[in-house]
Amino acid sequence: MSDDIESQGWTRAPAGPTAGTGARREPHHFRRLFAMWFVVSLAGDLVWWFVVGPHVPPGTMTTQARGAQFDFNVLFLASWVVVSGVCIYLGYAFYQWRASRGGPDPVGGPAASSNVRVQTIWITTTTLIVIAAFIFGTVQLILPQGAGGGEGPDPIWKPTSDKVLPIQVIAQQWKFTYRYPTFGGMETSTLVIPADTWIAFHVTSIDVIHDFWAYQLGVKADANPDVDDVAYVHTSGQLGSFTVRCDELCGIWHGAMFDYGKVVTKTQFMAWGSRTERANADNTKYLPPFAWTYVPTANTTTGVTADTSGQAPYSRIEKYGATPAKKTVTSPKTTSSTFTTT
């Protein structure tokens, strides 16, 4: 009787089979549990993967969004296996071993107090799952160049493409402004980006901490004053609008700090860019020169803006700010003017 536990075998998800031979007159708990768990976890995973998974946020508007969706779905599959295992075990235990059922009194002693095999399997399995989750997460972080998260002023995962469109996101209480250094340093209140393009969002703030969350793009980067927080995305061919929200509490109108952006074709984007640059030129000249962080007081009455006439709209070499401006602006980033090729 004392070796009952071992001979019965044990299970909880996600441990593998540990069945022994059944004892007399006792139902074979392990086989029952395993069967239920196998069916429920497999059915749930299949439904999730094929029915729900493709619709999981943030969708597939960028490579990074697609990666986040993939990660979510993979984690869901694994989690469902664990959750269904634990819940099935709990439900089974409540039914099978409830006192009101009048079963035999439990047997204590060393055999009921520990079981080296079960403990070893449990610890090994959870450790393997954790290591797998870590490797998976790291690969999924590095492969899509930082997975759309803000990498700070010195990004380590960068696109290798030669055509990166830089856009500065300036957060303030309680709105976002977007600045396009390669279009004369113009500022707009709508974010328009081209499809099929690497985009570098340079997120900064002029007051408190905000967070630039382009939901469908799978981008999230905190906006700290005097900090250039860079996040990269690669837009897919998918066109349409996306939501931008502030995702860090920034005061009373935090919830109202949102707007909508648009992904358009490259041709449409170039047309929109040069049109807006021309239309805004009168205002742009009163803006402070482009710099990696944005300090409103750097504005001058004369107005000097970056001369980007010779500048390609897409470039790996991010060199837009007028040189004097960089000196007037405090930036924690000293090596930001050039990205070295890897």
Partner 1 sequence: MTVDVAEPEAAHAGAVPPPGRAATGRPAWLGQHLGTAVLAGVGGYAFGHYLGNLIASGYVRVVTAAWNDVAIVLGLLFGILGWLAGIGAFNYALAKLAGREPVHADDPPNWTKYFRYSVEHKTVGMQYLIMVLIFFFTAGLLAMGIRTELLSPTTHIYGPGTYIEIVGEHGTMMMMMASSLVVGPLGNWLVPIMIGSRRMAFPRVEASSFWCFSAGYIVILSALALGGFPTGWTGYAPLQNQGSAGMDSYLLGFGIVGAGMILAGFNIFATIVAYRAPGLTWGRLPVFVWGMVTTSFLLTLATPTLVVAIYFGILDRTAFTELYVNAHGGSSYLWENLFWFFGHPEVYIMALPGFGIVAEIIPVFTGKPLFAYRIAAAGMVGVGLLSFFVWQHHLFMSGINPDMRPLFMLTTELISIPTGFVYLVGLGTLYKAKIRFEPPMLFCLAMYFNFLIGGITGVFQSDVPVDVTVHGSFFVLAHFHYTILGGLVFAFFGGVYYWTPKLTGRTLNRKLSIWHFWTMFIFFNLTFFPMFLIGLFDQPRRVFEYASDLTTLNDFASVSAFCLGASFIIFIVNFVWSIWIDPKRAPANPWGSKGLEWQTPTPVPPYNFERIPVVYADPYHYGEADAPPVADLEPANLAFASAASNGHRAAPVVADAD
- Could you say which residues in the range 243-282 bind Cu ion, by CB under 5 A? 246, 250, 257
In the chain, the N- to C-terminal Cα span, in Å, equals 66
Which does residue 10 bind out of partner 1, Cu ion, none, counting CB within 5 to 8 angstroms by kind?
partner 1
Which does residue 206 bind out of partner 1, Cu ion, none, counting CB within 5 to 8 angstroms by kind?
none
Between 19 and 56, whose beta carbon lies closer to partner 1?
56
CB of 4 to partner 1, least distance (A): 7
CB of 106 to partner 1, least distance (A): 4
Which does residue 54 bind out of Cu ion, partner 1, none, counting CB within 5 to 8 angstroms by kind?
none
Binding residues among 209-238 for Cu ion as defined by CB under 5 A:
210
Query: Angle, to 10 degrees, between the axis of helix 63-96 and the axis of helix 29-47?
Result: 150
Which does residue 146 bind out of partner 1, Cu ion, none, counting CB within 5 to 8 angstroms by kind?
partner 1
CB of 284 to Cu ion, least distance (A): 25
The span from the CA of 184 to the CA of 171, in Å, is 20
CB of 84 to partner 1, least distance (A): 11
User: Could you tell me which of 169, 181, 257 has the C-alpha nearest to residue 217?
Assistant: 169
Q: CB 232: neighbour CB atoms within 10 A?
A: 27
Among left, alpha and beta (phi > 0; psi -120 to 50; other), residue 251 is: left
Q: Is 145 helix (H, G, I), strand (E, B) or coil?
A: coil
Between 119 and 265, whose beta carbon lies closer to partner 1?
119
CB of 298 to Cu ion, least distance (A): 22
Return all residues near 147 (Cβ < 8 A) that are at least 6 apart.
64, 67, 68, 140, 141, 218
The single-letter code of the amino acid at 76 is: F
Q: Are 195 and 264 in contact (CB under 8 A)?
A: yes
* Neighbour-count burial of 101, counting CB atoms closer than 10 A to its CB (0-12 exposed, 13-18 middle, 19+ buried): exposed
Which does residue 318 bind out of Cu ion, partner 1, none, counting CB within 5 to 8 angstroms by kind?
none
CB of 310 to partner 1, least distance (A): 31
Buried b (16+ CB within 10 A) or exposed e, 70-84: bbebbebbbebbbeb
CB of 93 to partner 1, least distance (A): 4
Give, for 223, the enclosing helix (H) or strand (E): strand 219-223
Q: Are 79 and 23 in contact (CB under 8 A)?
A: no
Which does residue 68 bind out of partner 1, Cu ion, none, counting CB within 5 to 8 angstroms by kind?
partner 1
Between 126 and 274, whose beta carbon lies closer to partner 1?
126
Between 207 and 319, whose beta carbon lies closer to partner 1?
207
Give 192's DSSP letter.
E
Between 129 and 270, whose beta carbon lies closer to partner 1?
129
Which does residue 106 bind out of Cu ion, partner 1, none, counting CB within 5 to 8 angstroms by kind?
partner 1
Between 99 and 189, whose beta carbon lies closer to partner 1?
99
CB of 149 to Cu ion, least distance (A): 18
Binding residues among 184-213 for Cu ion as defined by CB under 5 A:
210
Q: Which residues bind Cu ion (CB under 5 A)?
A: 210, 246, 250, 257
